[in-house]
A and B are shown apart, each in its own frame.
Chain A
Amino acid sequence: MDVRAQFSMILNLEKCIGCHTCSVTCKNMWTNRKGAEYMWWNNVETKPGTGYPKRWEDQEKYKGGWIKTDNGLSLKIGGKLKLLSKIFYNPDQPTVRNYYEPWSYEYEHLFNAADGDYQPTARAISEITGDYIEVKSGPNWDDDLSGSDEYALNDPNLSDEEKKLIKELSTVFMFYLPRLCNHCLNPACVASCPSGAIYKRGEDGIVLVNQEKCKSWRYCISACPYKKVYFNWNNVKSEKCIFCYPRIENGEATICSQSCVGKIRSLGVILYDVDKLTAILTENDTNLVDYIRECILDPKDEDVIRAAKESGISEEWITAAKSSPAYSYVKELGIALPLHPEFRTFPSVFYVPPLSPILPTIDTEDYIPEVDKLRIPIKYLSKIFSAGNEKIIKDVIEKLIVVRKYMRAKMLGDKEKLAEILKNSKLEEDLILKAYKLFTQATIHERYNIPQTAKGSNKDSYEQQGTIGFGLRGKKGFRK
């Protein structure tokens, strides 16, 4: 057992209202500058949809993530040797057209227009060329669309049957999928970087691109199957979501989480066994979710705690892991799933799949509808969250439903019903109550259980105490 601590995020899609507050606070703080206009470290997609960049899930096109080979794993874009051999040629990399051409408007014209015959209007201008532009795509172009011949029908996860459903108003379905860097346990971006500029932090598992070391090879952009590493055309570096480490290190939530007004996000520590993870990397697609769950360790188990301490994980972090909502969601309740586990990067971001209204053809006497009556096809969800394993999705949805049924019976004081529900439940009573609490009343500290990083234990902290902040800034904003 080799224990690692990973800072982890859970997104409960049942509660996501698609408001994009997360995207905007993130944008303001991190990518509101030249070269980063088109970057949305956090974005929200409407599913079914093609997303940002368009059809990012299609690895036949983008060649992101890992593939299983006879003797292990390989980056889909090719091994390091192959990469080095074609270092100046990277055909799999998305171009600006796959994202969108960032634009602004000629706002000044409204003030400066001379006395004329027509009302002035502020025309769209490209932020790259400065010319007038006909806006043809954006970072959230298929927002709220779902049923769309131009976009949603190209969602790589849809079967032909499902495509028919979204062409008709009565059977259309949709949900929102917020996306950010998954800070993967097996990050393809790190593996692909010829300069060794990308690393996964030992203490919290956050994956970062060293802005001093990045040599703009851009393999990370191709290798990331989620297309969550971006290229800053102004300072010529790769940049990506940093899990708001300056906030996390001080015990504060990422800005996307703090601003999540749907209250869908939770943050916490998970402990996992790297040995086990290494062993399961090449397991079959359909079993991957189960194996990932196995890699995650019980933070209350004495053996785990001992091993964690041996790995240098601090008391603060172990304590946080014990009451981690991430652990509850992923392991105890078993309702949070990784995005496209078949990409084999092993995300540390997990999603609770959504419920949905019943299909119009369904006649049900239940107050709370059963899993087989919901309109979002289980198969579609399984393509996204369980590498096609439908049983896993069904189990999760059933668990969500049992919480609702139990709480309704409890609210109405129906003891008979309660007993009946518990008899057939996939969750024990205490876990039902735990799930209910996490879904509803968890306070900000319970949702975001963030250990602080004890930096002061370094030997130079005494000196830093008096000098930090005085650092002169270099050309590109670095402290030298």
Chain B
Amino acid sequence: MSIKITKNSWFEILKSSEERKWEELYRSRWEHDKVVRSTHGVNCTGSCSWNVFVKDGLVVGEVQATDYPAIGGDIPMTEPRGCARGASFSWYLYSPIRVKYPYIRGKLLDLWLDAKKKYDDPVDAWASIVEDTEKRNSYMVKRGKGGFRRIDYESALELIAASNIYTIKKYGPDRIIGFSPIPAMSQISYAAGSRYLNLIGGVVMSFYDWYCDLPLASPQVWGEQTDVCESADWFNSSYTVLMGSNVNVTRTPDAHYLYESKMKGGKIVVMSPDYSSVTKGADLWIKINKGQDGAFWLAVNHVILNEFYNKSITGYFDDYVRKYTDLPFLVYLDENNDSYEMGRMVRASDFENTEREENAEWKYAVIDLESKNVVFPYGSIGFRWAQDEKNKFKWRLINKCGISDKEIVPTLSILEVSDRTIGVKFYEYHNDKVVENVRNIPVFEIETKEGKKFVTTVFDLLNGMLGVDRGLGGDYPSSYYDDKIYTPKWQEKYTGVNADTVIKVAREFAENAAKTCGKSMIIIGAGINHWYHQDLMYRSAIMALLLTGSVGVNGGGLAHYVGQEKVAMLSSWATIAMAGDWLKPPRLQNTPSFWYIHSDQWRYEDKVFDYFKVNDENKFKEKHTADFIAKAVRLGWLPFYPSFSENPLNLAKLNNPQANVVNKLKKGELKFSVEEPDNPVNFPRVWFIWRANAIASSAKGHEYFMRHVLGTSDNLTAEEKAVSLKDVNNQIEAPKGKIDLIVDINFRMDTSALYSDIILPAATWYEKDDLNTTDMHSFVHPLRKVVAPLWESKSDWNIFKDLAKKFSALAEKHFPKSVKDLVVATLLHDTPEEIMQRDVKDWKYGETEPIPGKTIPKLAVIERDYKKIYHKFISLGPNAAKSIGAHGVSWDSSEEYEELKIKNGAIRLADEEFPSLEEPINVANAILHLAPETNGKVAVKGFKSLSKFTGINFDTLVKGNEKVKMDFDDITIQPRRLNTSPIWSGIIDEGRPYAPYTINTEFGLPWRTLTGRQHFYLDHEFYKYAGEMLPVYKPNLPENVLNELIKTQDGLVLNYHTPHGKWHIHSTYYDNLRMLSLSRGGQVIWLNNVDAEKYGIKDNDWVEVYNKNGVVICKTVVSSRMPSGVCYIYHATERTINVPISEKTNNRGGNHNSLTRVRLKPLAMVGGCGQFSYYFNYWGPVGVNRDTYVVVKKLNKVRF
């Protein structure tokens, strides 16, 4: 029977009907008592402002704030930022995985209580445990295996403080380490631990390089850690290529700009091996074979050079590269057998008439187009660090010779001034061989102090390398379809992309940039950055941007989004976080070197050249990565702590300690710790982990950590094989368990907490006050205490403050007088130390003398009063009254310092008054008040200071900003947009999103590189020996040289990738019930349907995934959107959630890092040379992990 629909039958018209009173039910649910602005201090760089709802004192939920100020112009509004992960945060607060109380490993508690009975002094008690091998081992082997007991907060702090004092006295403060990543997301919480560690002389560990988020190409090309546009600038792009970046998933709050730019008429090209979430939004999907993006871009550049430089000249491009890149700079051609090869860049020190110029080795040459003379343009790094009056104001980008002061026009190609050519060798790298191609290049002969020499320009070399035939003769390809390096045809065999697609994309990319003056953009991510040769791939893509004038332009450039972080108020934040307001230098460690050595991963591989293909490995004196690290340490290129096999407090006691230490090193009486890492005196002893999952998400080579760092059960089956060592001692038996005490400060029981000795309950992001910034947008906004810290939790600031107090009290007895500490510090970027080592000279081999700060690291002696750690922690020290700065710019901060005493209140210490940093809000206000980004008056001062340095007038950049001032309450009321700042390279203005290097292109401010320009050419001998002066193609590391696979006949062998997942931010939210419900409820591996079928594996099967590094047990997800030959386990999983026991190892299965280990590229270790100079998180080898293979097998029996 049908019913006749009567039109009104569904409506309940009566509004005041009794029938509808029940509607109050859901209205009552929606009611709340207050709404508080806060956010999530998670390292996604989203930096989203949220409204948190409180009802009856309980946090009931959250939704995004939508009140960001408009950027202006036609830029779509910022609201609402925030993703599903953030939306699920309130689950954590009252959930059963919340750490509510302090916990301690039961076995350790027994030992501690026992020792305390015997010893009055807690330091002695601690000594009695760790100096007894049996006792020490008895709790180490129990790490991660349950048996936690509650401990009261004061007792926990006492134990920790005792371990700190003991370690400092016995081994030195540089054996106490701390790890916390990405300060930007909760800057005060980060600063809490780093400030404590720096005050006591401990070691703060880097993260950006360790996570492999640092794109080495950024310092290589730009001399900059990473500088990217805020996502709003994607809207300005009219041609966007995404590679290795799945912004829907990893940049969720920003992704809308991509789709909005598409609707504005922009084209979206996605390069990805899988059909990913963002691929669905593409116009063109380039289905590229994994890790072959470099080959694709090299061929793109071949086409661009051919069509936009040679066949016809594109005015905008030509002007751009002459002014802003090193393409016109001169390079020697060195004789090599019958032909020539690329040499180093031409320097002022090569000529008799200029060799006595100040910093002559650091001034680089071009040929003036009119006079055909060799000239030395303004802007080289030699001008940056000029002392002579006559050389000042020459660190800027104008076309004048810095020596003659005459106007010049840089010659781009030698063809403009000479028609002479010679054959130059270009190398092609295969897994099994290196092939030479000789191609003719135009040359110019110059007279140097060593006689006549051939030189050419970087531009000409680039044409030769890319195989762009200009009718010069030699081994050039005849057309795009000739299979020679680097034609569109050539790349087909690597990328699987046909030549026509390359040609089409190259033309569109360049045409678009030509029509829009550089609005072509590349969004790039971890899919590229995690390969061993990440830098080559990045540089290949960056070349296309530089050749099309797309860098330093709104809507153009390289948008690298991999864990990049931006502590916007960097200058003031770093002062507080690194305790520079009290004393300098801090001990800052590049983590990849540190853990490669200390987790003994170095013992499981031999020569680096087994997998790293170079022109001639014999040019390198070192063969093993560990030896390269040792070299980098002794030459001052990279840090390594502990520094020496002796206590730095003892070394500082020596007469004239610096000279004494140099002498001992020379004689071999004193060893760098890195040369003998497995000697117990060189172990790191206490490890603080806060805001981090250092043992799981961050521990590449997780199972190596389990065995060597923690000393507990592991899933490792690799064998030791390091023999080709020169300076690093492999004769000591590999230790099992190096760290005496692991302290984890956490709000959830993650894998790191589970494996730690002490867990202190941290306040969540809704229970503390803090600051949050990002480079994805240009706003600053807070985390606010929505509710009081729950159970026994406390903010990170207060935990370290309490620890400082406990430590200071114990120090009264153990350090009654202040002590001296010898701090070893690396040669730093953005200081005159970056022009110390133009060529590699190793004092150990007698190539030069060891001179601190020049040929070896700096040796600083500083005084520490351990009784005053607490007082110093809670007050802003006197250095902050002198000057503040970053990136080589600083300004007077005395006025703001005085103002802070009033704003924050003052702390008295020995008749002096200091601004208070007692509470997190005080710290927030200090950061905001001292920084140019949030205090316009400071911005004005900063730019004035930069003007004094460069002679450039920046007044227009700060106009109208002088009176902009923000404090913590202001940014709580509404997120506020930052000022343009002298320490950043981009302009922030009405209607204008932040885009990097716009100050460089619009004001002529040099990049912080050797030539002051953007570098195609990497002028360093290590790069020459490796053949990487220009970005060449090198294959990914093949499975057969890695020695990671346990070969079985029935296993599915796959390349192993760990892209960022959809349901977690690293491991945060991974264990959150909301996210587990919306995903597959635990760890999964993504497989291609055909691969899986071949081995009888179905969707949702349990499998064992393994290699020599370890084992993962997880479920499968089978889909044809995955390419064959690859598997994904989304970074980063936890072994705490529903993980069975491994059949292979009879141990609990691991997490995603159980299958990885690190392989460090020696080229990233060089230092003391322009952009190849260390800075914390800026430079150094990175923890790549994509060149890894695994076997996947069905699990026979599931056992928990």
Contact = CB atoms under 8 A, between A and B. Distances in A.
B238 A444 contact: no
B275 A146 contact: yes
A357 B270 contact: yes
A355 B285 CA distance: 13
B1062 interface: yes
A110 B1074 contact: no
A147 B1124 CA distance: 13
A115 B2 contact: no
Interface stretch (A72-80, A221-229, A320-328, A331-339): A72-80
Interface stretch (B18-26, B119-127, B523-531, B961-969): B18-26
A258 B263 contact: no
Contact of B147 (A113, A140, A143): A113
Nearest to B750: A110
B107 A115 contact: yes
A23 B146 contact: no
Given A111-B749, A119-B144, A150-B1118, A211 B285 contact: no
Interface in A232-261: 242, 244-247, 255, 258-261
Contacts of A30: 26, 29
A25 B63 contact: yes
Contacts of A443: 77
A80 B1 CA distance: 9
Contacts of B1139: 121
Interface string A370-411: 000000000000000000000000000000100111111111
A20 interface: yes
Interface in B669-692: none
A75 B74 CA distance: 49
Contacts of B1088: 169
Interface stretch (A53-61, A422-430, A471-479): A471-479
Contact of B30 (A17, A23, A146, A247): A247
B1 A354 contact: no
Given A122-B1136, A138-B1079, A110 B84 contact: no
B1119 A146 contact: yes
Contacts of B80: 258-261, 263, 444
B260 A199 contact: no
A414 to B, nearest CB: 9
Contact of B1089 (A123, A167, A174, A355): A167
Interface stretch (B4-12, B316-324, B602-610, B1047-1055): B4-12
Contacts, number: 395
Nearest to B266: A408
Given A110-B749, A113-B147, A357-B284, A245 B754 contact: no
Nearest to B15: A203
B117 interface: no
Contacts of A110: 97, 749, 754, 1136
Contacts of A406: 265
Contacts of A478: 22, 24-25
Contacts of B1062: 18-19, 143-144
Nearest to B66: A444
A2 interface: yes
Contacts of A440: 74, 76, 235, 260, 263-264
A465 interface: no
Given A103-B1081, A148-B1120, A407-B263, A17 B277 contact: yes
B1147 interface: yes
A259 B264 contact: no
Contacts of A312: 13
A466 interface: no
A296 to B, nearest CB: 16
A407 B235 CA distance: 13
A367 B1073 CA distance: 44
Interface string A26-52: 011110100000000000000000000
Interface stretch (B180-188, B249-257, B422-430): B249-257
Contacts of B249: 17, 19
A246 B1 contact: no
A357 B279 CA distance: 8
Nearest to B8: A274
Contacts of A70: 2
Contacts of B1073: 104-105
A67 B185 CA distance: 55
A201 interface: yes
Contact of B263 (A141, A403, A410): A403
A471 B106 CA distance: 51
Interface in A444-465: 444, 458-460
Interface stretch (B88-96, B401-409, B535-543): B88-96
A285 interface: no
A202 B13 contact: yes
A298 interface: no
B146 A113 contact: yes
B886 interface: no
A262 B84 CA distance: 11
Interface string A129-150: 0000001101111011111111
A146 B1117 CA distance: 11
A73 B754 CA distance: 62
Interface in B1044-1079: 1062, 1071, 1073-1074, 1076-1079
B83 A261 contact: yes
Contact of A201 (B12, B1081, B1136): B12
Contact of B1120 (A124, A167, A357, A410): A167
Interface stretch (A86-94, A154-162, A185-193, A299-307): A185-193
Given A124-B1138, A211-B25, A262-B256, A20 B84 contact: yes
29 contacts: A14-B281, A19-B84, A24-B84, A28-B62, A104-B1073, A110-B97, A111-B103, A115-B106, A116-B145, A119-B145, A135-B1138, A139-B1077, A144-B1119, A145-B1119, A147-B1089, A148-B1120, A149-B1099, A175-B280, A190-B10, A202-B11, A258-B64, A357-B284, A360-B287, A412-B515, A439-B259, A458-B15, A460-B16, A479-B25, A479-B28
Given A25-B62, A262-B259, 19 more contacts: A18-B248, A19-B252, A20-B1078, A25-B61, A108-B96, A120-B146, A135-B1080, A138-B1077, A147-B1121, A169-B274, A172-B1121, A190-B9, A202-B15, A260-B80, A357-B283, A403-B263, A408-B265, A440-B263, A473-B28
Interface of A: 2, 4, 14-15, 17-21, 23-25, 27-30, 32, 69-75, 79-82, 102-105, 107-108, 110-111, 113-124, 135-136, 138-141, 143-151, 166-170, 172-175, 186-187, 190-191, 199-203, 207-208, 210-213, 242, 244-247, 255, 258-263, 274-275, 277-278, 281, 312, 354-358, 360, 363, 367-369, 400, 403-412, 436, 439-441, 443-444, 458-460, 469, 471, 473, 477-479
